[in-house]
Amino acid sequence: MPRFRLHVEYAGTGLAGWQKQADVPSVQQQIEEAVRAFSGEAVTIRGAGRTDAGVHATAQIAHLDLEKDWPTDTIRDALNHHLRPTATAILSAEMVDDDFDARFSATKRAYVYKIVNRRPQPTLQRGRVWQVPRPLDVEAMQAAADSLMGTHDFTTFRSSECQAKSPVKTLDELSVHRTGDLITIHAVARSFLHNQIRSFVGSLKRVGEGVWPVEQMAEALEARDRKACGPVAPPDGLYLMRVDYPDRSFVSWP
């Protein structure tokens, strides 16, 4: 049975996230319904990252098994035909080895969080960024972010609903950049805890506003207590934008 890898792009607004849910539409459900519509097969697809409700992706990777050895361009185009009413698209499809797993074969994942730091509301980017009207000190935010680098127990920045077996993760990058009114926060790791990046961003905002001193980020980390975390940032500004595998990387900037 051939296995195919899909490069998926989607806007998460109004969706329950990647994972299929009982009563709310999800990206996984949309694609599985599109597969059934074009091939007649009921399949279960696996994704590289279980993005939360409202979170977007420019480089989500998924895999599925089909009974027929379809041309990869046919899979891409047929799925996009049935996905056209949604905000989900298949950018590419390719055949892979049977042992490829979109989730477990991934070696790194990269997210970017976008903040519009200005008083006027965003118009063209509404629903795709977090508007923060108070001025943010990017240098202070970066200094605070530096204290989170490396391997730590990230209980403070972990959702109470997180299903990961351990709160210990290794953070390879957490960088803060400003271009005009746009602040981008880049996070790279092999894997992340539930709500970890949005928890980072909400706490970094506190530092940027001057509500928290830079040192409080390290103190929050050491507390290993969810109550020490700042408010969780909304999902609007978060994008899964890169997934690395041993054979290649998939990256697409939002």
Q: Is 52 among the catalytic positions?
A: yes
Phi-psi region of 96 (alpha: psi -120 to 50; beta: other; left: phi over 0): beta
HEC per residue, the chain: CCEEEEEEEECCCCCCCCCCCCCCCCHHHHHHHHHHHHHCCCCCCEECCCCCCCCEEEEEEEEEECCCCCCHHHHHHHHHHHHCCCCEEEEEEEEECCCCCCCCCCCEEEEEEEEECCCCCCCCCCCCCEECCCCCCHHHHHHHHHCCCEEEECHHHCCCCCCCCCCEEEEEEEEEEEECCEEEEEEEECCCCCCHHHHHHHHHHHHHHCCCCCHHHHHHHHHCCHHHCCCCCCHHHEEEEEEECCCCEEECCC
Active-site residue, selected from the candidate residues 23, 52, 97, 99 = 52
Measured CA to CA, the distance from residue 82 to residue 170 in angstroms comes to 39
CA-to-CA dists, residue 140 to 47, 106, 181, 216, 244, angstroms? 35, 32, 17, 11, 30
Task: Enumerate the active-site residues.
Answer: 52
